[in-house]
Amino acid sequence: MAVDLLLGLQWGDEGKGKIVDVLTQNYDIIARFQGGPNAGHTLIFDGFKHVLHTIPSGIFHKTALNVVGNGVVIDPVIFKKELENLDQHNIDYTSKLLISRKAHLILPTHRLLDAASETSKGKAKIGSTLKGIGPTYMDKTGRNGMRVGDLELDNWKDKYKSLTKKHIKMLEFFDVDIQYDLDELEAEFCLGIDKLKTLQFIDSEEFLNNAMKEKKSILAEGAQGSLLDIDFGTYPFVTSSNTTAAGACTGLGVAPNKIGDVFGIFKAYTTRVGSGPFPTELFDEDGATMAKVGHEFGATTGRPRRCGWLDLVALKYANQVNGVTQLMMMKGDVLSGFKTLKVCTSYKYKGKEVTHLPYNIEPENVTPVYTEFKGWSDDLTGMTSEDQLPQNLLDYIAFIEKETEVPVKIVSVGPDRKQTITRQ
Protein backbone atom coordinates (compact mmCIF):
# COMPACT_ATOMS: atom_id res chain seq x y z
CA MET A 1 0.00 0.00 0.00
CA ALA A 2 1.10 3.56 -0.65
CA VAL A 3 2.12 6.00 2.06
CA ASP A 4 -0.07 9.09 2.40
CA LEU A 5 1.60 12.34 3.45
CA LEU A 6 0.28 15.12 5.61
CA LEU A 7 2.16 18.39 5.71
CA GLY A 8 1.81 22.11 6.34
CA LEU A 9 1.59 24.49 3.38
CA GLN A 10 2.38 27.78 5.14
CA TRP A 11 4.83 28.77 7.90
CA GLY A 12 3.84 25.99 10.31
CA ASP A 13 1.12 25.70 12.96
CA GLU A 14 -1.55 25.08 10.32
CA GLY A 15 -3.24 22.46 12.50
CA LYS A 16 -1.37 19.34 11.34
CA GLY A 17 -1.54 17.63 14.73
CA LYS A 18 -5.31 17.95 14.90
CA ILE A 19 -5.84 16.42 11.46
CA VAL A 20 -3.35 13.58 12.00
CA ASP A 21 -5.31 12.72 15.14
CA VAL A 22 -8.60 12.84 13.19
CA LEU A 23 -7.24 10.67 10.37
CA THR A 24 -5.42 8.10 12.54
CA GLN A 25 -8.54 5.90 12.68
CA ASN A 26 -7.91 5.17 8.96
CA TYR A 27 -4.26 4.12 9.38
CA ASP A 28 -2.16 1.35 10.94
CA ILE A 29 0.98 3.43 11.28
CA ILE A 30 1.72 7.15 11.79
CA ALA A 31 5.32 8.13 11.02
CA ARG A 32 6.97 11.52 11.71
CA PHE A 33 9.53 12.28 9.02
CA GLN A 34 11.46 15.42 9.98
CA GLY A 35 11.91 18.24 12.44
CA GLY A 36 12.13 17.80 16.17
CA PRO A 37 10.99 19.57 19.31
CA ASN A 38 10.77 22.86 17.42
CA ALA A 39 7.34 21.51 16.45
CA GLY A 40 4.29 21.86 18.67
CA HIS A 41 1.28 19.86 17.49
CA THR A 42 -1.92 20.49 19.43
CA LEU A 43 -4.64 17.86 19.87
CA ILE A 44 -7.89 18.55 21.69
CA PHE A 45 -10.45 15.87 22.54
CA ASP A 46 -12.55 14.70 25.50
CA GLY A 47 -11.93 18.01 27.25
CA PHE A 48 -8.12 17.67 27.25
CA LYS A 49 -5.46 19.54 25.33
CA HIS A 50 -2.21 17.76 24.45
CA VAL A 51 0.83 19.32 22.79
CA LEU A 52 3.22 16.90 21.10
CA HIS A 53 6.70 17.93 19.97
CA THR A 54 8.48 14.82 18.73
CA ILE A 55 5.95 12.04 19.26
CA PRO A 56 3.65 11.40 16.28
CA SER A 57 0.08 12.65 16.64
CA GLY A 58 -1.46 9.17 16.37
CA ILE A 59 -0.30 8.18 19.85
CA PHE A 60 -3.69 8.62 21.55
CA HIS A 61 -5.36 5.96 19.45
CA LYS A 62 -5.52 2.41 20.77
CA THR A 63 -3.98 0.41 17.98
CA ALA A 64 -1.99 2.63 15.61
CA LEU A 65 1.80 2.26 15.73
CA ASN A 66 3.77 5.51 15.89
CA VAL A 67 7.20 5.73 14.30
CA VAL A 68 9.75 8.49 14.86
CA GLY A 69 11.58 8.37 11.52
CA ASN A 70 15.25 8.74 10.64
CA GLY A 71 14.71 12.33 9.46
CA VAL A 72 13.66 13.48 12.93
CA VAL A 73 16.03 14.97 15.51
CA ILE A 74 15.32 13.93 19.10
CA ASP A 75 16.14 15.79 22.29
CA PRO A 76 16.06 13.06 24.97
CA VAL A 77 15.35 15.65 27.67
CA ILE A 78 12.23 16.99 25.94
CA PHE A 79 11.24 13.52 24.79
CA LYS A 80 11.26 12.29 28.39
CA LYS A 81 8.90 15.12 29.37
CA GLU A 82 6.57 14.21 26.51
CA LEU A 83 6.50 10.59 27.64
CA GLU A 84 5.80 11.66 31.23
CA ASN A 85 2.83 13.66 29.96
CA LEU A 86 1.51 10.51 28.28
CA ASP A 87 2.05 8.61 31.55
CA GLN A 88 -0.20 11.12 33.28
CA HIS A 89 -2.98 10.25 30.87
CA ASN A 90 -2.34 6.51 31.22
CA ILE A 91 -1.37 6.14 27.59
CA ASP A 92 0.50 2.89 27.12
CA TYR A 93 3.10 3.81 24.51
CA THR A 94 5.71 1.13 25.16
CA SER A 95 4.47 -1.24 22.49
CA LYS A 96 3.31 1.37 19.98
CA LEU A 97 6.06 3.98 19.88
CA LEU A 98 9.04 2.94 17.75
CA ILE A 99 12.20 4.97 17.23
CA SER A 100 14.44 4.89 14.17
CA ARG A 101 18.05 3.99 14.95
CA LYS A 102 19.05 6.54 12.31
CA ALA A 103 17.32 9.51 13.97
CA HIS A 104 19.87 12.05 15.24
CA LEU A 105 20.18 13.19 18.84
CA ILE A 106 20.08 16.79 20.01
CA LEU A 107 22.82 17.25 22.61
CA PRO A 108 22.59 19.94 25.30
CA THR A 109 25.46 21.74 23.58
CA HIS A 110 23.47 21.87 20.33
CA ARG A 111 20.96 23.98 22.23
CA LEU A 112 23.76 26.23 23.52
CA LEU A 113 25.12 26.65 20.00
CA ASP A 114 21.64 27.56 18.74
CA ALA A 115 21.36 30.23 21.44
CA ALA A 116 24.86 31.56 20.74
CA SER A 117 24.25 31.72 17.00
CA GLU A 118 20.94 33.54 17.44
CA THR A 119 22.34 36.02 19.99
CA SER A 120 25.31 36.81 17.77
CA LYS A 121 23.00 37.59 14.84
CA GLY A 122 21.31 40.41 16.76
CA LYS A 123 18.49 41.97 14.73
CA ALA A 124 19.09 39.51 11.89
CA LYS A 125 18.23 36.51 14.06
CA ILE A 126 16.12 33.71 12.56
CA GLY A 127 13.78 33.62 15.54
CA SER A 128 14.70 29.98 16.12
CA THR A 129 12.82 28.03 18.78
CA LEU A 130 16.26 27.55 20.44
CA LYS A 131 15.80 23.79 20.57
CA GLY A 132 19.14 23.11 18.90
CA ILE A 133 17.60 22.15 15.56
CA GLY A 134 20.04 24.00 13.24
CA PRO A 135 23.25 22.81 14.99
CA THR A 136 21.98 19.20 15.13
CA TYR A 137 21.18 19.07 11.41
CA MET A 138 24.54 20.76 10.75
CA ASP A 139 26.28 17.91 12.59
CA LYS A 140 24.16 15.43 10.64
CA THR A 141 25.12 16.81 7.22
CA GLY A 142 28.66 17.47 8.46
CA ARG A 143 28.84 13.76 9.31
CA ASN A 144 29.61 14.34 12.97
CA GLY A 145 26.21 13.62 14.53
CA MET A 146 25.18 11.15 17.18
CA ARG A 147 22.34 8.81 16.35
CA VAL A 148 19.86 6.79 18.37
CA GLY A 149 21.58 3.60 17.18
CA ASP A 150 24.82 4.78 18.82
CA LEU A 151 23.14 4.35 22.20
CA GLU A 152 23.29 0.59 21.67
CA LEU A 153 27.10 0.77 21.69
CA ASP A 154 29.01 0.46 24.96
CA ASN A 155 31.11 3.51 24.18
CA TRP A 156 28.32 5.96 23.32
CA LYS A 157 29.43 8.26 26.14
CA ASP A 158 32.86 8.66 24.52
CA LYS A 159 31.15 9.84 21.36
CA TYR A 160 28.96 12.19 23.41
CA LYS A 161 31.98 13.59 25.27
CA SER A 162 34.06 14.21 22.17
CA LEU A 163 31.20 15.93 20.33
CA THR A 164 30.41 18.03 23.40
CA LYS A 165 34.05 19.05 23.69
CA LYS A 166 34.03 20.20 20.09
CA HIS A 167 30.85 22.20 20.68
CA ILE A 168 32.36 23.95 23.71
CA LYS A 169 35.29 25.04 21.53
CA MET A 170 32.82 26.24 18.89
CA LEU A 171 30.94 28.26 21.50
CA GLU A 172 34.09 30.30 22.08
CA PHE A 173 33.89 31.50 18.49
CA PHE A 174 30.65 33.33 19.20
CA ASP A 175 31.42 36.52 21.01
CA VAL A 176 28.41 36.22 23.32
CA ASP A 177 27.87 35.32 26.93
CA ILE A 178 25.97 32.03 27.21
CA GLN A 179 25.73 30.76 30.78
CA TYR A 180 25.58 27.01 31.38
CA ASP A 181 26.43 24.26 33.84
CA LEU A 182 27.72 21.36 31.77
CA ASP A 183 27.44 18.76 34.57
CA GLU A 184 23.83 19.66 35.17
CA LEU A 185 23.03 19.51 31.46
CA GLU A 186 24.80 16.16 31.13
CA ALA A 187 22.96 14.65 34.09
CA GLU A 188 19.62 15.71 32.60
CA PHE A 189 20.66 14.36 29.20
CA CYS A 190 21.61 10.96 30.67
CA LEU A 191 18.23 10.68 32.42
CA GLY A 192 16.59 11.39 29.07
CA ILE A 193 18.70 8.70 27.40
CA ASP A 194 17.70 6.18 30.09
CA LYS A 195 14.04 6.86 29.36
CA LEU A 196 14.56 6.75 25.59
CA LYS A 197 16.26 3.37 25.95
CA THR A 198 13.08 1.91 27.44
CA LEU A 199 11.55 2.20 23.96
CA GLN A 200 12.05 -0.04 20.97
CA PHE A 201 14.72 1.10 18.48
CA ILE A 202 14.10 -0.11 14.94
CA ASP A 203 15.51 -0.01 11.42
CA SER A 204 12.56 2.12 10.44
CA GLU A 205 13.02 2.08 6.66
CA GLU A 206 12.98 -1.73 6.74
CA PHE A 207 10.02 -1.73 9.10
CA LEU A 208 7.96 0.67 6.97
CA ASN A 209 8.73 -1.03 3.66
CA ASN A 210 7.79 -4.41 5.12
CA ALA A 211 4.59 -2.90 6.51
CA MET A 212 3.75 -1.65 3.01
CA LYS A 213 4.26 -5.15 1.61
CA GLU A 214 1.88 -6.44 4.27
CA LYS A 215 -0.71 -3.92 3.00
CA LYS A 216 -0.55 -1.85 6.18
CA SER A 217 -1.71 1.74 5.77
CA ILE A 218 0.79 4.47 6.67
CA LEU A 219 0.36 8.20 7.19
CA ALA A 220 3.54 10.29 7.21
CA GLU A 221 3.32 13.33 9.50
CA GLY A 222 5.29 16.44 8.64
CA ALA A 223 6.36 19.21 10.96
CA GLN A 224 6.76 22.97 10.30
CA GLY A 225 5.47 24.17 6.93
CA SER A 226 6.53 24.36 3.29
CA LEU A 227 7.63 28.00 3.55
CA LEU A 228 10.06 26.96 6.31
CA ASP A 229 11.66 24.30 4.07
CA ILE A 230 15.46 24.55 3.95
CA ASP A 231 15.42 24.61 0.12
CA PHE A 232 12.05 26.11 -0.82
CA GLY A 233 11.24 28.30 2.17
CA THR A 234 12.03 31.94 2.81
CA TYR A 235 15.76 31.29 3.32
CA PRO A 236 17.55 32.02 5.62
CA PHE A 237 14.42 32.43 7.76
CA VAL A 238 13.61 28.72 7.61
CA THR A 239 14.20 25.58 9.61
CA SER A 240 17.01 23.14 8.84
CA SER A 241 15.13 20.23 7.26
CA ASN A 242 13.06 19.50 4.15
CA THR A 243 9.52 20.04 5.35
CA THR A 244 8.09 19.36 1.88
CA ALA A 245 6.95 16.03 0.39
CA ALA A 246 10.45 14.97 -0.65
CA GLY A 247 11.44 15.13 3.03
CA ALA A 248 9.09 12.22 3.70
CA CYS A 249 11.03 10.04 1.23
CA THR A 250 14.40 10.81 2.81
CA GLY A 251 13.02 11.05 6.34
CA LEU A 252 11.43 7.60 6.26
CA GLY A 253 13.14 5.66 3.48
CA VAL A 254 10.01 5.52 1.37
CA ALA A 255 10.50 5.64 -2.42
CA PRO A 256 8.75 8.45 -4.38
CA ASN A 257 6.64 5.93 -6.34
CA LYS A 258 5.23 4.67 -3.03
CA ILE A 259 3.65 8.00 -2.12
CA GLY A 260 -0.15 8.05 -2.37
CA ASP A 261 -2.22 11.04 -1.34
CA VAL A 262 -0.59 14.27 -0.21
CA PHE A 263 -2.77 16.13 2.29
CA GLY A 264 -1.94 19.83 2.39
CA ILE A 265 -3.01 21.61 5.58
CA PHE A 266 -3.53 25.37 5.51
CA LYS A 267 -5.16 28.01 7.67
CA ALA A 268 -7.97 30.09 6.13
CA TYR A 269 -5.63 33.02 6.80
CA THR A 270 -1.85 33.04 7.38
CA THR A 271 0.38 33.08 10.44
CA ARG A 272 4.09 33.10 11.06
CA VAL A 273 6.13 32.92 14.26
CA GLY A 274 9.74 34.09 14.28
CA SER A 275 11.48 36.43 11.83
CA GLY A 276 11.33 36.61 8.05
CA PRO A 277 9.26 38.09 5.24
CA PHE A 278 5.47 37.75 5.28
CA PRO A 279 3.89 39.74 2.41
CA THR A 280 0.26 39.60 3.61
CA GLU A 281 1.05 40.38 7.25
CA LEU A 282 -1.43 42.75 8.91
CA PHE A 283 -0.48 45.40 11.45
CA ASP A 284 -4.04 46.67 11.95
CA GLU A 285 -7.25 45.74 13.77
CA ASP A 286 -7.90 42.82 11.40
CA GLY A 287 -4.58 41.19 12.26
CA ALA A 288 -5.16 41.77 15.96
CA THR A 289 -8.62 40.16 15.67
CA MET A 290 -7.19 37.05 13.96
CA ALA A 291 -4.54 36.75 16.69
CA LYS A 292 -7.11 37.17 19.47
CA VAL A 293 -9.90 34.98 18.13
CA GLY A 294 -7.46 32.35 16.80
CA HIS A 295 -5.41 32.33 20.05
CA GLU A 296 -2.34 32.71 17.92
CA PHE A 297 0.48 31.92 20.31
CA GLY A 298 3.22 29.38 19.53
CA ALA A 299 2.55 25.90 20.96
CA THR A 300 6.29 25.41 21.65
CA THR A 301 7.57 28.83 22.65
CA GLY A 302 4.38 30.75 23.56
CA ARG A 303 5.48 33.60 21.30
CA PRO A 304 2.69 35.61 19.61
CA ARG A 305 2.18 34.56 15.99
CA ARG A 306 2.13 37.24 13.30
CA CYS A 307 -1.18 37.17 11.35
CA GLY A 308 -2.29 38.16 7.85
CA TRP A 309 -4.57 37.37 4.92
CA LEU A 310 -4.46 34.14 2.96
CA ASP A 311 -1.66 34.22 0.39
CA LEU A 312 -2.66 32.20 -2.67
CA VAL A 313 0.60 32.92 -4.49
CA ALA A 314 2.48 31.17 -1.67
CA LEU A 315 -0.18 28.46 -1.32
CA LYS A 316 -0.01 27.58 -5.01
CA TYR A 317 3.77 27.41 -4.78
CA ALA A 318 3.50 25.01 -1.82
CA ASN A 319 0.94 22.89 -3.70
CA GLN A 320 3.28 22.65 -6.66
CA VAL A 321 6.38 21.68 -4.67
CA ASN A 322 4.46 19.06 -2.68
CA GLY A 323 2.09 17.63 -5.32
CA VAL A 324 -0.86 18.15 -2.99
CA THR A 325 -3.87 15.97 -3.87
CA GLN A 326 -6.28 17.14 -1.13
CA LEU A 327 -6.45 20.42 0.75
CA MET A 328 -7.64 20.76 4.32
CA MET A 329 -8.67 24.22 5.47
CA MET A 330 -8.28 25.05 9.16
CA LYS A 331 -9.64 27.80 11.38
CA GLY A 332 -12.36 29.10 9.07
CA ASP A 333 -14.28 29.79 12.29
CA VAL A 334 -11.74 32.48 13.20
CA LEU A 335 -12.80 34.53 10.16
CA SER A 336 -16.48 34.70 11.23
CA GLY A 337 -17.48 38.32 11.74
CA PHE A 338 -15.13 39.92 9.20
CA LYS A 339 -17.21 42.07 6.83
CA THR A 340 -14.71 41.72 4.01
CA LEU A 341 -12.01 39.12 3.52
CA LYS A 342 -8.96 39.56 1.35
CA VAL A 343 -6.99 36.94 -0.52
CA CYS A 344 -3.65 37.73 -2.13
CA THR A 345 -3.78 36.56 -5.75
CA SER A 346 -0.62 38.15 -7.13
CA TYR A 347 2.32 40.33 -6.11
CA LYS A 348 3.60 43.60 -7.48
CA TYR A 349 7.26 42.62 -7.77
CA LYS A 350 9.75 45.30 -8.79
CA GLY A 351 6.94 47.18 -10.55
CA LYS A 352 5.50 44.17 -12.41
CA GLU A 353 2.58 41.94 -11.46
CA VAL A 354 3.66 38.32 -10.87
CA THR A 355 1.67 35.23 -9.90
CA HIS A 356 4.61 33.05 -8.88
CA LEU A 357 6.67 33.25 -5.70
CA PRO A 358 9.74 35.33 -6.59
CA TYR A 359 13.25 34.72 -5.17
CA ASN A 360 12.95 37.63 -2.81
CA ILE A 361 9.69 38.45 -1.04
CA GLU A 362 11.07 41.06 1.34
CA PRO A 363 8.62 43.99 1.78
CA GLU A 364 10.78 46.37 -0.25
CA ASN A 365 10.36 44.13 -3.33
CA VAL A 366 6.84 42.79 -2.99
CA THR A 367 3.38 44.31 -2.55
CA PRO A 368 0.42 41.93 -2.35
CA VAL A 369 -2.50 42.40 -4.75
CA TYR A 370 -5.80 41.35 -3.19
CA THR A 371 -9.17 39.97 -4.34
CA GLU A 372 -11.97 40.78 -1.90
CA PHE A 373 -14.71 38.48 -0.65
CA LYS A 374 -17.84 39.04 1.40
CA GLY A 375 -17.45 37.67 4.91
CA TRP A 376 -19.94 35.72 7.01
CA SER A 377 -21.14 36.30 10.54
CA ASP A 378 -22.36 32.80 11.42
CA ASP A 379 -20.64 30.94 14.24
CA LEU A 380 -19.19 27.85 12.56
CA THR A 381 -17.95 26.10 15.68
CA GLY A 382 -21.10 24.02 16.24
CA MET A 383 -21.56 23.06 12.58
CA THR A 384 -21.17 19.40 11.70
CA SER A 385 -21.91 19.13 8.00
CA GLU A 386 -21.12 20.93 4.80
CA ASP A 387 -24.72 21.97 4.12
CA GLN A 388 -24.70 24.13 7.27
CA LEU A 389 -21.74 26.23 6.11
CA PRO A 390 -22.62 29.81 5.02
CA GLN A 391 -22.66 30.48 1.27
CA ASN A 392 -19.98 33.18 1.54
CA LEU A 393 -17.61 30.65 3.11
CA LEU A 394 -18.44 28.13 0.37
CA ASP A 395 -17.65 30.84 -2.21
CA TYR A 396 -14.32 31.51 -0.45
CA ILE A 397 -13.49 27.78 -0.58
CA ALA A 398 -14.62 27.47 -4.22
CA PHE A 399 -12.26 30.31 -5.17
CA ILE A 400 -9.33 28.57 -3.43
CA GLU A 401 -10.17 25.32 -5.23
CA LYS A 402 -10.39 27.07 -8.60
CA GLU A 403 -7.07 28.88 -8.12
CA THR A 404 -5.14 25.88 -6.73
CA GLU A 405 -6.92 23.24 -8.82
CA VAL A 406 -7.01 21.02 -5.72
CA PRO A 407 -10.20 20.05 -3.82
CA VAL A 408 -10.71 21.18 -0.21
CA LYS A 409 -11.71 17.91 1.46
CA ILE A 410 -11.82 18.92 5.13
CA VAL A 411 -13.03 22.15 6.69
CA SER A 412 -12.03 22.48 10.34
CA VAL A 413 -14.34 24.71 12.39
CA GLY A 414 -12.72 24.54 15.83
CA PRO A 415 -9.77 23.01 17.68
CA ASP A 416 -11.61 19.92 18.93
CA ARG A 417 -11.31 16.58 17.14
CA LYS A 418 -15.09 16.68 16.65
CA GLN A 419 -15.11 20.11 15.00
CA THR A 420 -14.14 18.67 11.63
CA ILE A 421 -16.31 18.67 8.51
CA THR A 422 -15.50 16.25 5.71
CA ARG A 423 -16.69 17.34 2.26
CA GLN A 424 -17.95 14.93 -0.36
Q: What is the largest CA-CA distance in the chain?
A: 65
Residues 6+ apart with CB under 8 A from 252: 3, 31, 33, 67, 69, 70, 71, 204, 205, 208, 220
Choices 32-40, 171-179, 259-267, 393-401 (CB under 6 A): range interacting with ligand IMO = 32-40
Q: How many whole angstroms separate alpha carbon 147 and alpha carbon 239?
A: 20
Please answer whether residues 167 and 116 qualify as being in contact, where contact means their C-beta atoms are separated by less than 8 angstroms.
no
Query: E-strand spans in 161-314?
Result: 200-202, 218-221, 259-267, 270-272, 306-308, 310-311
- Residue with the CB atom nearest ligand IMO in the bound state: 274
x/- track of binding to ligand IMO for residues 237-276 (CB under 6 A)? --xx--------------------------------xx--
Q: For the segment 290-349, give every residue that binds Mg ion (CB under 5 A).
A: 299
For residue 40, state whether it binds Mg ion (rule: CB under 5 A).
yes
Please answer whether residues 150 and 196 qualify as being in contact, where contact means their C-beta atoms are separated by less than 8 angstroms.
no
Which residue out of 4, 21, 41, 75 is catalytically annotated?
41
CA–CA distance from 74 to each of 182, 295, 342 (Å)?
19, 28, 40
Annotation says 140 is catalytic:
yes
- Binds ligand GDP (CB under 6 A): choice among 3, 4, 8, 37: 8
For residue 226, state whether it binds ligand IMO (rule: CB under 6 A).
no
Q: How many whole angstroms separate alpha carbon 386 and alpha carbon 411?
A: 8
Q: How many whole angstroms separate alpha carbon 376 and alpha carbon 368?
A: 23
Annotation says 41 is catalytic:
yes
- 331 marked ligand binding residue: yes
For residue 76, state whether it binds ligand IMO (rule: CB under 6 A).
no
For residue 167, state whether it binds ligand GDP (rule: CB under 6 A).
no
Choices 9-17, 65-73, 229-237, 368-376 (CB under 6 A): range interacting with ligand GDP = 9-17
CA–CA distance from 218 to each of 2, 6, 20, 221, 375 (Å)?
7, 11, 11, 10, 38
Q: How far is the CB of 42 from Mg ion (least distance, A)?
A: 7
- 143 marked ligand binding residue: yes
x/- track of binding to ligand IMO for residues 385-414 (CB under 6 A)? ------------------------------
Q: How far is the CB of 199 from ligand GDP (least distance, A)?
A: 22
Half-sphere exposure of 345 (CA within 13 A, CB side): 13
For residue 343, state whether it binds ligand GDP (rule: CB under 6 A).
no
Q: How many whole angstroms separate alpha carbon 153 and alpha carbon 157?
A: 9
For residue 128, state whether it binds ligand IMO (rule: CB under 6 A).
yes
- Binds ligand GDP (CB under 6 A): choice among 69, 76, 264, 414: 414
Please choose, from the candidates 58, 7, 11, 14, the residue with its C-alpha nearest in 3D space to the C-alpha of residue 415.
14
Q: How many whole angstroms separate alpha carbon 56 and alpha carbon 66?
A: 6
For residue 44, state whether it binds ligand GDP (rule: CB under 6 A).
yes
Q: How far is the CB of 11 from ligand IMO (least distance, A)?
A: 6
What are phi and psi for residue 171, nearest 5 degrees?
-60, -35
**Complex with ligand GDP: residue 69 or 145, whichever CB lies closer:** 69
**Complex with Mg ion: residue 140 or 305, whichever CB lies closer:** 305
Please answer whether residues 375 and 341 qualify as being in contact, where contact means their C-beta atoms are separated by less than 8 angstroms.
yes
Q: For the segment 273-302, give every residue that binds ligand IMO (CB under 6 A).
A: 273-274, 299
**Long-range contact set of residues 288-297: C-beta below 8 Å, sequence gap at least 24:** 289/337, 289/338, 290/334, 290/335, 293/334, 293/337, 294/267, 294/269, 294/331, 294/334, 296/271
For residue 108, state whether it binds ligand IMO (rule: CB under 6 A).
no
For residue 82, state whether it binds ligand GDP (rule: CB under 6 A).
no
Choices 13-21, 109-117, 178-186, 229-237 (CB under 6 A): range interacting with ligand GDP = 13-21
Q: Provide the terminal-to-terminal Cα distance of the chain, rounded to the nearest Å.
A: 23
Q: Which of Mg ion, ligand IMO, ligand GDP, none has residue 44 at its interface (CB below 5 to 8 Å by kind)?
A: ligand GDP
Contact residues for ligand IMO, defined by CB under 6 A: 8, 11-13, 35, 38-41, 126-129, 131, 133-134, 223-225, 228, 239-240, 273-274, 299
Report, as residue numbers or ranges, the catalytic residues.
13, 41, 140
Contact residues for ligand GDP, defined by CB under 6 A: 8, 12-18, 39-42, 44, 294, 299, 330-331, 333-334, 412-415
Residues at the binding site are: 12-18, 38-42, 129, 143, 224, 239, 299-305, 331-333, 412-414
